[in-house]
Amino acid sequence: MLLPHGEPLQQLVRIHRPPELGETQQPSTSESMLRGNHDGRSVFKQMGTLPAPTICPRWHRVFLKATALGLLLLLLTALGVQGWWLVTTSRAQQLPRPSLSLHPSQGVSLGDTVTLRCHLPQPAAWVELFQDGLLRSYKDMDKHQVMAEFSLVCVKLEDAMKYWCQYRVLEPPGVSEKSVPIELVVTDHRYSPPIISINHKNNVEVGTNVTIQCCNQGYGGIIFLHKDGHSAPLQHQDPRGGGTVTFILVAVTPADSGTYRCSYHPKASLFVSSPLGDSVTLEVTPTPAPPGAELVSRGNLVVAVVRGCAAVFIFGLGVFFVIDARSLWIWRDESLGGEGI
């Protein structure tokens, strides 16, 4: 019997029959490839194919090493920057802070020129001026300079904000603490001046409570009470929806005498001020002394003088008796000594 390919049936049976006793079965080609050949590459070479590699190729390993090295360098750089920052911060805390002043300190209007002076406790390499947290300007310093000036020419509304300064030294390197911030308040004459009134006469006695009222004419914002001769406002209040506030001077003294005015900062602009309004004058007169008070004070003075003189007399008398008694004892001792001889 023949198969479709012309192979005899006996050959097919011989291939698939079990081996007889004592007969050794020869492994097939596929079995020898899988069992007898331990070199997988030679087997697959015979078949014309290679298995997929079980490890990363060379270029992949190089890429991983380069990436790890880059991450290590980045970590070291970050640690170095952090260490430098800590050293700089500790050094900055050792340098005393400067102070910043404004000239003129008040009444700066749009278009004016204002000067900011940074006063240094020691010479520095350069000084930096900050405007609301951003570096506005810096100035190189000479060895003996202890003050830096920064001028703002033709002041604008955007110049109205907080300022502070700091300085840097080179030997050893360090940065100072920032100065206490100051506010540049710019007067905008487009706002109407406030209205001021006082509920007492111009002349009041010592100890009187004086009430001053100010009205912002509906512009909102905080209202300030000023006194001529003082750079900073004395008091401030927020009307909180209204337009009038009341300032109370409690138990006035002659030091409270002077001229008072008001201003306000519009609600939309914290560092913009209205012009100063009209003024009111307050004069505090000392309380008149009651009748006979002058005679009483003179009598007290006479009594004090008499008491002082009496104390001096008694003290001198005591010293005299002590000296006299000592002289008597000395004379007695001398007399007894002469008789013994």
CA distance 257 to 285: 9
Residue 43 included in any domain: no
Looking at the fold, whether 123 and 203 belong to one and the same domain comes out as no
- How far is 115 from 118, CA to CA, in rounded Å? 10
Determine, yes or no, domain membership for 4. no
CATH of the domain at 201: 2.60.40.10
Running along the chain, 341 residues long, what does each successive block of 10 average in pLDDT? 48 47 49 46 48 57 74 74 57 77 88 95 94 92 90 93 94 90 93 90 86 88 92 88 89 93 87 92 79 55 69 67 62 57 49
Q: Which of 187, 208, 231 is the last residue of a domain?
A: 187
**Which tokens belong to 171?**
């030997």
The number of beta carbons lying within 10 Å of the beta carbon of residue 185 is 21
Cis peptide before 51 (omega within 30 of 0): no
CA angle 293, 295, 297 (to 5 degrees): 70
What pLDDT score was predicted for residue 319?
63
- Per-residue pLDDT, 193: 93
Kindly report the CA angle at 337 between 331 and 341, in degrees rounded to 5? 145
Tokens matching residue 8? 């005899």
Whether residue 206 lies inside any domain: the answer is yes
Rg over alpha carbons for the chain, rounded to the nearest Å, is: 51
First and final CA of the chain: distance in angstroms? 184
pLDDT of residue 10: 47
Angle at 46 between CA 41 and CA 47, to 5 degrees: 95
Residue 192 and residue 229 in contact, taking contact as beta carbons nearer than 8 Å = no
Hey, what are 214's tokens? 């100010």
pLDDT the model gives residue 172: 84
Cross-strand partners of 245: 214
Residue 334 within a domain:
no
* Domain-embedded: residue 341: no
> How many Å apart are CA 154 and CA 152, to the nearest integer?
7
Structural domain includes residue 119: yes
Find the domain containing 73 and state its range.
55-93
| Identity of the residue numbered 136 | R
How many domains does the chain contain in total?
A: 3
H/E stretch holding 147: strand 147-152
pTM of the model: 0.54
Shared domain check, 262 and 206: yes
CA distance 258 to 250: 15
Domain limit, last residue, from 93, 116, 142: 93
Is residue 33 within 8 A of residue 43, CB to CB? The reply is yes
Give SS3 for 78: helix
Q: Is residue 164 part of a domain?
A: yes
271 within domain boundaries: yes
Q: Which of 39, 70, 93 is the last residue of a domain?
A: 93
| Whether residues 203 and 242 fall in one domain | yes
How many residues does the structure list for the chain? 341
Structure tokens belonging to residue 42: 């030679």
